[in-house]
Structure 1
Amino acid sequence: MTMYERWIHELWNGSLADLPAIARGVVSDDFVGNWPGQPGLVHGPDELAAVIRQGREMFDELSFDIELGPIEQGDLVAGRWVATGRYQGSPSEFHGHDLLRRDGDRFVEYWVIAEDPTGG
């Protein structure tokens, strides 16, 4: 399994109970996550786990699938994903693009562009 497949399948789709441990296995202690309009929103695996948990708990039956990638060049990894689930009882689907920088066997930096999952 590639690092990006672990990022999507283990971290974003994995067990919420195991999320902090999974995050520590996928990202570095000095990891920085950047969201649109919120550069440096996340620092380290515990903050990443908390942000993922918060987003996933907004939905029922939320799952992420890779649509394209991973595309790798040097220490950069890119991918496109689709998420499906239910938001406030209605079906929901949204897409996004990830760009990650890795160092060894962990990601150290992340940028994401995604549609508004709540349709707002």
Structure 2
Amino acid sequence: MGDIATLYRRWLGEVWQGDLDVLGELLAPGFVGHWPDREVRGLDETAEQIRQSFALFGDVRTAVDVGPVVDGDTVAARWTFTGAYRGGLPGATAAPGTTVSFSGMDIMRAEDGRFAEYWVVSDALGLMTRLGALPG
């Protein structure tokens, strides 16, 4: 499948641009994703988790700010996600169409040329504040 840095760039540059058809190429069948509020298993649950993000944001752009940094079978990077808020988040006062950005960090572990495990943390508090769902 190529080197792990290239695999990661595809994860951020293809999957997080909405191309969920490539998940089978990038993720191992037993993939486990550790989001701060839940754990997802397999391609279907992962695709649904990503679809939920796209339900809230359009015109998504992602950028790698630091990395990817590779150590053996593990890659880490800091990224920025920018998108146009579509509306629908309970309590949010931001108008649909409002452009917001937030940053986060990924750690991904590869096995046999595909990602087997994923950990992500992001500035959800800052995002919620910018959307008006929390006081600033």
Q: TM-score range by the shorter chain?
A: 0.7 to 0.9
* Bigger radius of gyration among the two: 2
Q: 1:118 to 1:56 in 2, by over 3 A?
A: farther
The residue that corresponds to 1:107 in the other structure is 115
Structure 2 gaps of 5+ residues are 86-95
The residue that corresponds to 1:76 in the other structure is 74
The residue that corresponds to 1:5 in the other structure is 9
Structure 1 gaps of 5+ residues are none
1 or 2, which has the higher strand percentage?
1
Match of 2:64 among 66, 69, 81: 66
Q: Structure 1 segments of 4 or more deviating over 6 A?
A: none
Would you say how many aligned residue pairs link Structure 1 and Structure 2?
114
Give the letter aligned to residue 107 of structure 1. Answer: F
Residues 25-70 of structure 1: CA deviation (Å, up to 9, x unaligned): 11011000001142xx210111111111111121121121111111
Give the Cα–Cα distance (whole angstroms) in 2 for the partners of residues 70 and 104 of structure 1. Answer: 19
CA contact (8 A) 1:23 1:46 kept: no
Q: 1:118 to 1:89 in 2, by over 3 A?
A: farther
RMSD: 1.5
Give the Cα–Cα distance (whole angstroms) in 2 for the partners of residues 7 and 69 of structure 1. Answer: 14
CA contact (8 A) 1:102 1:109 kept: yes
Aligned to 2:18, the other structure's residue is in SS state coil
The residue that corresponds to 2:48 in the other structure is 50
Compute the displacement of 1:89 (Å): 2.1
Aligned to 2:56, the other structure's residue is in SS state coil
Give the Cα–Cα distance (whole angstroms) in 2 for the partners of residues 118 and 61 of structure 1. Answer: 18
Give the letter aligned to residue 9 of structure 2. Answer: E
1:91 matches 2:95: no
1 or 2, which has the higher helix percentage?
2
